[in-house]
Amino acid sequence: MVEKVKAGYKQTEVGVIPEDWKLISFDDAFDSCSSASYSRSDLTENGDIFYIHYGDIHTKWNYFLDFSKHTVPTIDKLKLKHYSLLKDGDLIIVDASEDYEGICKSVEVTNINKIKAFSGLHTFLFRSKKNTFVDGFKGYISSNKVVRDQYNRLATGLKVYGVSKTNIKRILIPLPPTEKLQKASNVQNKSLYEANKEVYTLLRYGADIKEKVGEHKKTVHFIDWNNRLNNDFYIAQEVTITGIHDKRPDIVLYVNGIAVAVIELKRSTISVAQDIRQNLDNQKEMFIKPFFSTIQLVMAGNDTEGLRYATIETPEKYYLSWKEKSTVKNKLDRALLQLGDKERLLEIIHDFLVFDSGTKKICRHNQYFGVRESQKYLKKRKGGIIWHTQGSGKSLTMIWLAKWIRENIPNSRVLIITDRQELDDQIERFFKGVKEDIYRTKSGKDLIKKLNTTEPWLMCSLVHKFGRKTSTDVDDFLAELRDSMPKDFKAKGDIYVFVDECHRTQSGKLHKAMTTILPKGVFVGFTGTPLLKADKRNSIKTFGKYIHTYKYDEAVNDKVVLDLQYEAREINQRLSSPEKVDQWFEAKTKGLTDVAKRELKKRWGTMQKVLSSQSRLNKIVADILLDMEKNDRLLSGRGNAILVAGSIYEACKYYELFQGHGLKKCSMEKTLIYSKRK
């Protein structure tokens, strides 16, 4: 029985394609260029020519090989013979795969500019003839269902599947009309970020329209935010979204007919990561990018791993997990019931999304509950402390809470106080990054002046601008501050004060300056620093009890921050002879490849000299430098390490030695550790 072809499509010898598309063979569309055949063992970290290995196409890159972003291995230029150097727009196809999904996986070369590179083992290199395709389209050719079906029919092999170059040239490629090809390649379209931002503004604030000429504009709201259940909610399964390549998201959530969330689900044996990648692929130009202009939440899940959520264009590693107490045992069901609750879904869309300098962000669970608990306190005009561990997003928590105060408490104003210049800089930069016009006070006098007027509504200031930081007598300093204020001074508006790093100076006498100037102000302290008992008592006494806490171990479990690992090291102090030093080197580098050892040997002369010295500190520095050279997390420059010295003098010597041996990314921090003995 022949399946009926739906309207707008036509049947061809290789499958169904849109009516206005045509077929073109690989041989007519591309010229074949030469590839090399060196294996991975020939590669090096310091070669002169970049080399594309088929394994990297399988595991690292999807659709495009962007030389401005991706890390590519190198090979020695002496091996380069008559092979074709890559150009922008070239298509590289792998000729072998251990599974059908990877057959003829390909990438389009972009941003290569003057970089010298060539494709290697198990790859075919094709170059477009006569500009048949615009740049940005070729990377998606192999993902087209019609093309993939042909690959699978032509593949040969038992354990490893492949398609010969001769057979690839016979493949027929569906080609859209020129105007659609241009649109698909994002020549004239807005970015998804900008399109989504425009739609979000309309959803949140409504659209101003005139029904008749001469009438005043009226604001039409697409969603009833005040009565959230007074909206129409729908769920649709496997909705077909048309595009250059059609896609069918597993579940789409609609509010008043507007698609606001999408969910990809897999059976429990397939990783959630695969769902996330599918979501990311669907947002690309060649698929259904316009569909995502209204989408606010992007989710993926299965029964064993639960649900992960994010917003548009969020990289896989930044997808979040929702944590909340529940009697529901199934991880996926629990998260869906919590995030998919009608009122909460709209609350998150309305109050917990932000467009931050090109990146759309959504709240973590600790930020959501921190703001929610704070709202309860502030409605009663009570302050307190939000203790969220360092790196868990306190700045965004401040932004969402400040916006809520502005929109829900009449005549409200927000003042954010820090006690260090760099924190003041950071707060200003962060709020302006999300288009919140924050005023940064220039001096204590300027702060008093702004507080004595009704504008601006949002300000930031250094705590020491309440007086002179160098004053040794805070009482005299407060008296002087009172004398400098106008007689009729009274801070205007309902003022809410956020105090960043509230465990520090604000817990002392300087806090009196703040409460003297703002006797009716409501103070909320923010910190994430572990406190000594005395500091904890002072903070609670000053600001009130904890509003919400998110502890370090919780953040580590949520993979929000990295765990701090302590490694005790024993350094051999008797490495005086070259033979012993070489023995030590072999022991330390056991397990490394020959290539890695050769790279270390290039710098071995310096280490050998340092290790052979009589200085204990030199030996410790050399041991650390070796770690920096052989451990990927440190070698790549993405990791950090802390060395604790026994004294300030010793720390200075370490710093001097590291600088002298080429480790320039090194700094010193002074920390006093007190111990009480009974």
pLDDT tens for each residue of 607-633: 555 544 546 777 777 777 767 666 655
Give the per-residue pLDDT at 219. Answer: 86
Of 66-75, 144-153, 163-172, the one with minimum mean pLDDT is 66-75
Give the per-residue pLDDT at 672. Answer: 46
Q: Hey, is 119 helix, strand or coil?
A: strand
Question: What residues contact 179, with CB distance under 8 A and at least 6 apart?
Answer: none
Closest by alpha carbon to 455, among 492, 410, 406, 416?
A: 492
Read off the amino acid at residue 470.
Answer: T
Most confidently modeled range among 318-322, 414-418, 524-528: 318-322
Closest by alpha carbon to 108, among 70, 139, 144?
A: 139
Give the per-residue pLDDT at 323. Answer: 93
Banded pLDDT at 183 (limits 50, 70, 90): low
Which H helix or E strand runs over 204?
A: helix 192-205
Q: In the predicted model, what is the mean pLDDT of residues 45-73? A: 82
Q: Which residue has the higher pLDDT, 596 or 9?
A: 9
* Cα angle for residues 282, 284, 289 (degrees, 5° grid): 75
Q: Which residue has the higher pLDDT, 51 or 583?
A: 51
Most confidently modeled range among 2-6, 168-172, 467-471: 168-172
Give the per-residue pLDDT at 581. Answer: 60
Banded pLDDT at 638 (limits 50, 70, 90): low
d(CA 118, CA 49): 8
Residue pair 23/174 in contact (Cβ under 8 Å)? The answer is yes
Q: In the predicted model, what is the mean pLDDT of residues 173-192? A: 65
Token reading at 78: 């002496």
Mean of all residue pLDDT scores within the chain: 80
Model confidence at 476: pLDDT above 50: yes
Which H helix or E strand runs over 616?
A: helix 616-630
Q: In the predicted model, what is the mean pLDDT of residues 91-119? A: 86
Give the per-residue pLDDT at 678. Answer: 36
Q: Burial code of 95-110, b = ≥16 C-beta within 10 A, e = fewer?
A: bbbeeeeebbbbbbbb
Using only the alpha carbons of the chain, give its radius of gyration: 31
Banded pLDDT at 442 (limits 50, 70, 90): confident
Residue pair 285/184 in contact (Cβ under 8 Å)? The answer is yes
Banded pLDDT at 474 (limits 50, 70, 90): very low
Q: In the predicted model, what is the mean pLDDT of residues 314-340? A: 94
d(CA 528, CA 285): 41
Q: In the predicted model, what is the mean pLDDT of residues 639-654? A: 78
Question: What residues contact 110, with CB distance under 8 A and at least 6 apart?
Answer: 64, 65, 66, 67, 68, 88, 89, 135, 136
Token reading at 657: 């030695």
Model's pTM, two decimal places?
Answer: 0.65
Q: In the predicted model, what is the mean pLDDT of residues 159-187? A: 76
Q: Which residue has the higher pLDDT, 608 or 58?
A: 58
Model confidence at 130: pLDDT above 70: yes
Model confidence at 420: pLDDT above 80: no
Of 155-159, 281-285, 454-458, 508-512, the one with minimum mean pLDDT is 508-512
